[in-house]
Structure 1
Amino acid sequence: MLRDGRDFKLFRLQKDGLIDTSFGANGYSQWGFAGSEIDSIPTGITELSADKLLVTGYIQEDGLPLRHYPAIARFNAGGSIDLTFAQNGVFIFKEPLTADLNPTDDQSNNPNVSASLSIAARADGRILLAYNSRGRSPYRDQGLLIQLTPEGQLDNRFNLQGYTFFQIDQQSTASVDLRIRANGNILVAGNSGNQGFVAEFNETGALNPAFAGKGFYLFKIDGGTLRLSALLLQADDKPVVVGSFTTSGSTVRGYVNRLMPDASRDASFNLGNSLIVERPFLSLQLNCAELDSEQAIVTAGELNTRALSLAGRVTPQGLMDLEFGEDGLTDTSTEGILNFTTSIAIQPLRQIVLAGEHHSSAAVIRHHG
Structure 2
Amino acid sequence: MRKILLLFLFSLSSINYAQNPGDIAQHFGSLPGFNNAFNSTATQPDGKIVMGGFFTAFKGVTENYIIRLNADGSKDTAFNTGTGFNDYVYSVVLQPDGKVLVGGYFTTYKGVTENRIVRLNADGSKDATFNTGTGFNDYVYSIAVQPDGKILVGGSFTTYKGVAENRIIRLNPDGSKDATFNTGTGFNNYVYSIALQSDGKILMGGFFTSYKGVTGNNKIIRLNADGSKDNTFITGTGFSSDIKTIITQPDGKIVVGGSFTSYKGVTENYIIRLNADGSKDTTFATGTGPNNNVFSIALQLDGKVLLGGVFTAYNGVTENRIIRLNANGSKDVTFDTGTGSTGNIYSITLQSDGKIIVGGVFTTYKGVAENSIIRLNTDGSKDHTYDVGKGFTLAVYATAIQPDGKILVGGRFTSYKGVTENRIIRLNADGSKDISFNTGTGVNGFGFSNYVSTIVLQSDGKILIAGNFTGYNGVTENYIIRLNPNGSRDNTFITGSGFNNVVNAIALQSDGKILLGGYFTTYNGATETRIIRLNPDGSKDNTFTTGTGFNSGANSIVVQSDGKILVGGEFTAYQGITENRIIRLNPDGSKDNTFTTGTGFNSGVRSIALQSDGRIVTGGDFTTYQSVTENRIIRLNPDGSKDATFTSGSGFNESVYCVVLHSGGKILLGGAFNTYKGVTENYIIRLNPDGNKDTVFDTGTGFNGFGGFGNYISSIALNPDGKIFVAGNFTTYKDSGESAYLIALHSETSLATENFTNSNGVSLYPNPVKDILNIDLVDNTRISSVKIYDLQGKLLLEKASNDIDVSSLSVGVYLIKIKSEKGEFTKKFIKE
TM-score relative to the length of structure 1: 0.68
Do residues 120 (structure 1) and 507 (structure 2) align? Answer: yes
Q: Supply the distance in 2 between the matched residues of 1:86 and 1:344 (Cα, whole angstroms).
A: 30
Q: In structure 2, do the counterparts of structure 1 residues 91 and 17 end up closer, same or farther at CA, with 3 Å as the change threshold? A: farther
The residue aligned with 1:11 is: 425
State the AA in 2 paired with 1:45.
I
1:153 is displaced (CA, Å) by 0.6
- After superposition, where does 1:264-303 map in structure 2 within 5 Å? 264-270=641-647, 274=648, 276-278=650-652, 284-303=654-673
1:119–1:178: 8 Å Cα contact kept in structure 2?
yes
Q: Supply the distance in 1 between the matched residues of 2:614 and 2:463 (Cα, whole angstroms).
A: 26
The residue aligned with 1:200 is: 584
Over residues 72-128 of structure 1, what are the superposed CA-to-partner deviations in whole Å (9 max), with x where a residue is unaligned? 2001112111111114xx76135xxxxxxxxxxxxxxxxxxx954201111111100
Do residues 77 (structure 1) and 463 (structure 2) align? Answer: no
Q: Supply the distance in 2 between the matched residues of 1:207 and 1:298 (Cα, whole angstroms).
A: 29
Indicate the RMSD between aligned Cα atoms, in angstroms.
4.1
- After superposition, where does 1:1-369 map in structure 2 within 5 Å? 1-3=410-412, 4=414, 8-24=422-438, 28-32=439-443, 41-59=451-469, 71-87=479-495, 92-93=498-499, 115-132=502-519, 144-159=530-545, 163-167=546-550, 173-192=552-571, 197-212=581-596, 216-220=597-601, 226-245=603-622, 255-270=632-647, 274=648, 276-278=650-652, 284-303=654-673, 310-325=683-698, 330-332=700-702, 339-358=711-730, 363-369=741-747
1:294 is displaced (CA, Å) by 2.2
> Larger strand proportion, structure 1 or 2?
1
Q: Supply the distance in 2 between the matched residues of 1:237 and 1:70 (Cα, whole angstroms).
A: 35
1:311–1:330: 8 Å Cα contact kept in structure 2?
no
1:299 is displaced (CA, Å) by 0.8
Larger-Rg structure: 2
Q: Which segments of 5 or more consecutive residues in structure 2 lack a partner in the other structure?
A: 1-409, 416-420, 472-476, 573-578, 625-629, 676-680, 732-738, 748-832
Which region of structure 1 is more displaced relative to structure 2, 8-17 or 231-240? 8-17
Q: In structure 2, do the counterparts of structure 1 residues 262 and 303 end up closer, same or farther at CA, with 3 Å as the change threshold? A: closer
Q: In structure 2, do the counterparts of structure 1 residues 191 and 333 end up closer, same or farther at CA, with 3 Å as the change threshold? A: closer
1:242 is displaced (CA, Å) by 0.8
State the AA in 1 paired with 2:425.
F
Q: Supply the distance in 1 between the matched residues of 2:567 and 2:639 (Cα, whole angstroms).
A: 14
Where 2:645 maps in the other structure, the secondary structure is: coil
Q: Which runs of 4+ in 1 moved over 6 A?
A: 333-338
Q: Supply the distance in 2 between the matched residues of 1:186 and 1:192 (Cα, whole angstroms).
A: 16
1:288 is displaced (CA, Å) by 1.2
Q: Supply the distance in 2 between the matched residues of 1:132 and 1:287 (Cα, whole angstroms).
A: 17
Over residues 319-339 of structure 1, what are the superposed CA-to-partner deviations in whole Å (9 max), with x where a residue is unaligned? 2212222xxx55237899994
1:285–1:304: 8 Å Cα contact kept in structure 2?
no
The residue aligned with 2:371 is: none
Q: Supply the distance in 1 between the matched residues of 2:488 and 2:633 (Cα, whole angstroms).
A: 38
Q: Supply the distance in 2 between the matched residues of 1:358 and 1:321 (Cα, whole angstroms).
A: 23
Q: In structure 2, do the counterparts of structure 1 residues 267 and 334 end up closer, same or farther at CA, with 3 Å as the change threshold? A: closer
State the AA in 2 paired with 1:152.
G
Over residues 154-174 of structure 1, what are the superposed CA-to-partner deviations in whole Å (9 max), with x where a residue is unaligned? 111111xxx54334xxxx643
Q: In structure 2, do the counterparts of structure 1 residues 295 and 86 end up closer, same or farther at CA, with 3 Å as the change threshold? A: farther
Q: How many residues align?
A: 299
1:347 is displaced (CA, Å) by 2.2
State the AA in 1 paired with 2:665.
Q
Q: In structure 2, do the counterparts of structure 1 residues 258 and 358 end up closer, same or farther at CA, with 3 Å as the change threshold? A: closer
State the AA in 2 paired with 1:313.
R
Q: Which segments of 5 or more consecutive residues in structure 1 lack a partner in the other structure?
A: 62-68, 95-113, 248-252
Where 2:463 maps in the other structure, the secondary structure is: strand
Identity rate, percent: 29
State the AA in 1 paired with 2:582.
V
2:631–2:651: 8 Å Cα contact kept in structure 1?
yes
Q: In structure 2, do the counterparts of structure 1 residues 277 and 211 end up closer, same or farther at CA, with 3 Å as the change threshold? A: closer
State the AA in 2 paired with 1:263.
G
Where 1:85 maps in the other structure, the secondary structure is: coil
State the AA in 1 paired with 2:603.
L
Q: Supply the distance in 1 between the matched residues of 2:705 and 2:468 (Cα, whole angstroms).
A: 33
Q: In structure 2, do the counterparts of structure 1 residues 33 and 54 end up closer, same or farther at CA, with 3 Å as the change threshold? A: farther
1:367 is displaced (CA, Å) by 1.9
1:42 is displaced (CA, Å) by 2.3
Q: Supply the distance in 2 between the matched residues of 1:334 and 1:33 (Cα, whole angstroms).
A: 28
State the AA in 2 paired with 1:199.
I
Over residues 144-200 of structure 1, what are the superposed CA-to-partner deviations in whole Å (9 max), with x where a residue is unaligned? 2100001011111111xxx54334xxxx6432111111111111112346x963211
Q: Supply the distance in 2 between the matched residues of 1:363 and 1:176 (Cα, whole angstroms).
A: 21
Where 1:86 maps in the other structure, the secondary structure is: coil
TM-score relative to the length of structure 2: 0.32
Q: Supply the distance in 2 between the matched residues of 1:333 and 1:54 (Cα, whole angstroms).
A: 29
1:297 is displaced (CA, Å) by 1.4
1:237 is displaced (CA, Å) by 1.6
